[in-house]
Structure 1
């Protein structure tokens, strides 16, 4: 009795847009492959040619999860799915891996799994402060040149003409020594004090006649000594692999299901969900002047660290890149103040929760959470997706301002689907016709046009309506069955 209504719902599910083919048409992908950046190859094409070589797949898998700012850390479940696609020669599946929504991905985070590479035990270990110990006062003069070494590429060979890791950015790498020292100085200044904690020996950064004991004071000091400081809110496609094959860049994004429905030409055509490569977001301090020329970045990376870092590896062209916001003057000082607070907050969280897998990545957020929360404070809105932080953890660190910032941003592991402005805002270009990832350009153009026209639909309300309808049918069937049983007993 309960089967017939459910069978009748299947055509209805298709009409409501729940019959989903995740992949764009082959002809659409083929057309986009012609406009890929020069000297670039798909990851699936590389694996078509190499997966049969003995031992190569295992070497490649051993490199996954290495690095700092890739778009995702593969949980054990995701790792298994990835391995199955390669061993099963599912090349079209690799081209859209994993193609899950963020709720499904975060459900794979096993709190009992081993800790990944990253900060785990204490603020001393969780933030790179270089030679500046937390246990002694020190003054670092920025008037003298940095004595740190130059750029060193983190590259390795997998054989078969495949290498892992990117080389130097020709514009940024020459500044590596100054950038690395400045990142360490920013980190140590961030840890000078923490709310409700015992005072620490004070670290001071000195430039000219200016002294700074906090990151924001250092930005003000740089400006006062004739330096130009720009803080940029930067977005890129995350490079999941950082592989090179026969001297070519390997295009390897990590795909997320946005739950937005791509418009079709005809009502009877099957709807697809818009899949997008996950983005990477960071703040970049671009500093130029009479004494210091440097480029420093901040993000919470897959290495489990939320800290200031160098930013001088060469990005592959397909990841693109743009500045959503640029801050100067007092606004640059304010963004730096909030960023320093996040360095302290994450250090405290790592000390309080060393048991979290992946250094807290996913559970304490991904790179977008911090950047989006500061964007919300500075502009009144947030345009980043996804956010994964379980913000109840942030009540375990003592800074109420940081707790409020994290509580305020949308949560993508629960509640409704992400809004279109956050999905499109995360993309590394506003010229969607310039996208070079095969199969993405047309999907984004169609979906964005529907949003502007007010006709864009999401699978989230459709699915809720369908589930409500299924629940109503099931409830009606149960009531009818109970009534029939009772009437038969009366007879």
Structure 2
């Protein structure tokens, strides 16, 4: 079997692959090339390469590394040795993901003192946004104020010399490694310019703050609801935008997940080659007597707001993020033609788009889910805002899709029964305290849809019989129709 992250020799035959702008090299080849250039022991090379990576990035990277490049558990930080031993020889699976999600709160215990600055609930409710210098500014209350603040943030970003909002993590110090593999995508541009990215970032927090208006009064919370153009809920704001000529739609999206990591490696001629990253996994499903392997997806509800003037659209996404927030975040990506191009097929859009009343219902459900999930994580002081335990991005998106349509097109789903029960209990607690989900007249429908989704959403920890047929159908539906990865091409029909 080839390496799970092997690249097809046919990638680049289509102009839309844009290999002239982003030539690709596989992770295994990049590692071998960089290691041979250094002339040091493999374990020493890998140890230096991983030095300085934040723990939140290091865990998925351990699962990305080719089998011959995985560090022995003893070479990892003490807190990660347990996870490292699980990943040392094999691929992750839905069952392992579910177990890790459940036990992560114990394997990596929460600090003794609860750091409210990192609290997902506080971040969701925040009515300010920070400049590149860390200065908090109040959220705008009008379209004009939003445009002015976006321009101010963009100018501050340029003045500070900071990385773009779409940029990857700063690379660690590589010392003697020289011009080898680095954990960033050198030479790539952002999907949108700086002002648009700032506008996305501000509007995402506007939607979060509007959604938080439905929460029962919290200690220290503002007494008056936050408003934008006189609207106090995301659904109302979208309806107002549509009345003023905006086109608004939401779509469930799925693409290959890289967990915020990027990588590139210079060729001998000095051209930066991009290294496609992904987490390979065993699906637990059989085809022709062999277990199917695939790559973990990143899933979200993509929201596109297009102004009547024809400017670049506002792009945001709702999901449960690794940064510890269940809510809206800007869709501020680097332009990676092999992973996140919305036109060339590397992003899958299973299902129909949500518009008008359907979009309004989806926004109400996002508000309800964010309230329940963020408050559950806050009350329980869960690590990473409950990421994993309360679902990964796949689960939060699938839960929304299930509530909207009565089914989901996504795989793998690992939200466990215990945590579903806890979310259900938190829902009842918030309702008793005065939670106001949705608009008047639709509140019972929104709550009922969420309850049913918690009960009926499939679980892919261990499936057999007819459930395997349905699970494989979901696996196929959420695959990108175009990809450089051989493992994806085997599933989407590109490799026959």
TM value normalised by structure 1: 0.69
Deviation at 1:368, TM superposition (A): 1.3
Aligned-residue offset at 1:312: 1.9
Shift of 1:285: 1.5
Paired residue secondary structure (1:127):
helix
Structural mapping, 1:32-431, within 5 Å: 32-35=8-11, 38=19, 39-51=23-35, 53=38, 56-61=45-50, 62-63=52-53, 66=56, 74=60, 85-87=69-71, 98-108=90-100, 109-114=103-108, 122=119, 124-127=121-124, 129=126, 131=128, 140-144=141-145, 145-148=147-150, 149-150=153-154, 151-152=164-165, 153-158=167-172, 159=174, 160-166=179-185, 168-171=189-192, 173-194=194-215, 201-207=223-229, 211-240=230-259, 241-246=261-266, 247-263=272-288, 271-290=289-308, 293-319=313-339, 320-324=346-350, 325-354=352-381, 356-389=382-415, 390-398=419-427, 401=447, 402-414=450-462, 416=464, 419-429=471-481
Summarize the Cα distance change of 1:47–1:180 in structure 2 as closer, same or farther, 3 Å threshold: same
State the match for 2:442 in structure 1. none
Q: Deviations over 1:9-56 (max 9, x none)?
A: xxxxxxxxxxxxxx35x8x99882343652011111111123464654
- 1:169, 1:315 within 8 Å by CA — same for their partners in 2? yes
Asked whether the 8 Å contact 2:255–2:347 carries over to 1, the reply is: yes
CA distance in 2, matches of 1:351, 1:203: 21
Q: Report the CA distance between 1:438 and its aligned residue.
A: 2.9
Contact kept? 2:217, 2:223, Cα under 8 Å: no
SS in 1 for 2:378: helix
The answer to whether the 8 Å contact 1:235/1:282 transfers is: yes
1:128-187 deviations in whole A, cap 9, x for unaligned?
735179xxx997122332314124334423543433345543446541222111111111
Query: In terms of Rg, which structure is larger?
Result: 1
In 1, the alpha carbon distance for the partners of 2:6 and 2:454 equals 42
Counterpart Cα distance in 1 of 2:359 and 2:485? 33
Q: Give the deviation of 1:82 after TM superposition.
A: 7.5
CA distance in 2, matches of 1:272, 1:224: 54
Hey, what does 2:84 align to over in structure 1?
none
2:294, 2:223 → 1: CA distance?
A: 47
Contact 1:256 1:278 in 2 (8 A): yes
- 1:120–1:350: 8 Å Cα contact kept in structure 2? no
* Distance of aligned partners of 1:446 and 1:224 in 2 relative to their CA distance in 1, 3 Å threshold: closer
Q: By how many angstroms is 1:425 displaced?
A: 1.8
Indicate the structure with greater strand content.
1
Q: CA deviation at 1:105?
A: 3.0
Shift of 1:422: 1.2
Q: What secondary structure sits across from 2:227 in the alignment?
A: strand
Mapped to 2, the partners of 1:256 and 1:120 lie a distance apart of 34
1:112–1:357: 8 Å Cα contact kept in structure 2?
A: no
CA contact (8 A) 1:279 1:428 kept: no
Paired positions, count:
394
Distance 2:5 2:328 in 1: 38
Unaligned stretches of 5+ residues in structure 1: 1-22, 89-95, 264-270, 450-491
SS in 1 for 2:427: coil
Change (3 A) 1:126 1:82: farther
Query: How far apart are residue 80 of structure 1 and its match?
Result: 12
Change beyond 3 A, Cα 1:393–1:102: same
Please name the residue that 2:134 is paired with: none
Change in 2 beyond 3 A, CA 1:279/1:194: same
Normalization by structure 2: what TM-score?
0.69
Task: Identify if the C-alpha distance between structure 1 residues 197 and 120 changes in structure 2 by more than 3 Å, giving closer, same or farther.
Answer: closer
| Distance in structure 1 (CA, Å) of the matches to 2:423 and 2:199 | 33
Cα 1:438/1:132, change in 2 over 3 Å: closer
